[in-house]
Amino acid sequence: MTKTENYNLILQQAQSLLENEHDLIANMSNISALLFSSLPHVSYVGFYRYQNGELILGPFQGPVACMHIALGKGVCGTAAATRQTQIVPDVHKFSGHIACDAATNSEIVVPMVKNDQLIAVLDLDSNDFSTFDEVDAEFLEKIAKLVMK
């Protein structure tokens, strides 16, 4: 199965999981589990909720994670501050990278914005280099929008 075919299947599953469910934490929980179990080479999938001017750890799958991240710090904080998806092929070359898990080598972070308000970020890590690309960004952005409905 190609990456696009896999994401199309994940997107359909996400739509089914989230149908008629409006609790943000419940939706984040199920989506983190779905993505973690469905994407090869992913070592962590989680959400950081934007509260009180910082990112605070939300539902996730994988190893223990940083609990507080300042806006503009690390890949998550940069995605939140710029409101742009960040694709990082080698986190060791990302200025200011926060190493919550020393085994992580690549990362993608999708900001979740609703009504021009930052709600959260969706963070995926991999122990492999160059795991994430524009296909991941396209589908993860669609999935993030579903979570916020």
Structure tokens at 81: 């501050």
When pLDDT is averaged across residues 86-93 and rounded to a whole number, the result is 95
Is the pTM value of this prediction over 0.85?
yes
Mean pLDDT throughout 85-95?
93
Which of these, 27, 41, 33, 43, lies nearest to 112 by C-alpha position? 27
pLDDT at 97 over 80: no
69 pLDDT higher than 90: yes
CATH number, domain containing residue 116: 3.30.450.40
pLDDT of 1 over the 80 cut? yes
Tell me the C-alpha distance between 31 and 104, whole Å.
21
pLDDT tens for each residue of 20-65? 999 999 999 999 999 999 999 999 999 999 999 999 999 999 999 9
Range of the domain at 84: 3-148
User: What local confidence, expressed as pLDDT, does residue 128 receive?
Assistant: 97
Residue 66 makes CB contacts below 8 A (sequence gap 6+) with 57, 98, 100
Total domains in the fold of the chain? 1
